[in-house]
A = this chain, B = another copy of it.
Amino acid sequence: MTLESIRKVAIVGGTHGNELTGVALVKKFERFPELIRRESLEVLALLANPRAIAENRRYIDRDLNRCFAVHELSDPGLTGYEEKRAKEIKAILHPTHGSGVDFIIDLHSTTASMGMTIIPSNEDAFNLQLAAYLQQQDPSAQICLGDRQDSSRLRSLSRLGCTVEVGPVAQGVLDARIVERTEVIVHKILDYLDARNRGRSLAGSSSVTVYQTLKAIDFPRDPSGEIDAMVHERLKDYEPLNFGDPLFISFSGETFFYREQATVHPVFVNEAAYREKRIAMIFSERKKIVL
């Protein structure tokens, strides 16, 4: 566990403009700032992609949550809407003069039936301790680790923080239950950070089970490149996929089976926005990390 204090926190919503849960919560926090006030913290609420939000689209020119790699943020040749907005967001969260945010909470939703998923910014012990604490508070929550090499996400702007990813909910829809569940987690995070700053330790775990993402899996395609199958109805987010289990079913009724020896756990199954990225699901490996 790192010892420095966490003084500035950003709560970000609408990184994807049609994921309304985060948009609604950030607007709520802007209107009722007392909700996110904590004694030892300065908390900023930020709508990341205003134009995409206004148009109820994931993005205008390019997925904003793939625009934060360091070399892209410093490339003046990148002038698409999201490319410029990523630089603005970096300047807001980490201004040249003054202190930057220590912790980022980026609020997302998914059409996958993933329930509450915490995606720590990285495997920093602090991030994992917090994730373990959140799982204690919401036992059905899962913890998912992204690709270690990938620094293109908004959450990468700070070493500490996480993405909160909740589903299933359709793009462009506010589901009151999902909004409430997300808000509860935001408050748990702020309470944890505040308690820690004030020397109080909230309950922790000695180990945590996480899902480490391994690789993206595309849909089967016909010779012309068109998607030719659906995810098989027996396949579920976070459930083990073993050799011989059904994976896809084609429109001609042919079942595609999983044929690798290693058991994996699919996540982001049928995330609508991943179709254009040629991703039907992401395989992950379940593993235990000692804290």
B251 touches A24 (CB 8 A): yes
B179 touches A32 (CB 8 A): no
A130 in contact (CB, < 8 A):
no
Partner of A171, one of B27, B168, B170: B170
A119 in contact (CB, < 8 A):
no
Name the B residues within 8 Å of A56 (CB-CB).
275-276
B-facing residues in A167-192 (Cβ within 8 Å): 168-177, 179-180
Complex-state Cα separation, A171 to B175, whole angstroms? 15
State the interface size on chain A (CB cutoff 8 A). Answer: 31
A84 in contact (CB, < 8 A):
no
Complex-state Cα separation, A9 to B177, whole angstroms? 42
Q: A31-B251, A251-B28, A252-B31 in contact; A172/B230 too (CB < 8 A)?
A: no
With CB as the reference atom, state the residue of chain B lying closest to A27: B251
B176 touches A231 (CB 8 A): yes
Complex-state Cα separation, A176 to B111, whole angstroms? 14
A45 in contact (CB, < 8 A):
no
A39 in contact (CB, < 8 A):
no
B230 touches A179 (CB 8 A): yes
Residues of A within 8 A of B (CB): 24, 27-28, 31-32, 56, 111, 168-177, 179-180, 230-233, 249, 251-252, 270, 272-273, 275-276
Top 5 closest pairs, chain A to chain B, by CB: A172-B272, A170-B170, A111-B170, A176-B233, A28-B251
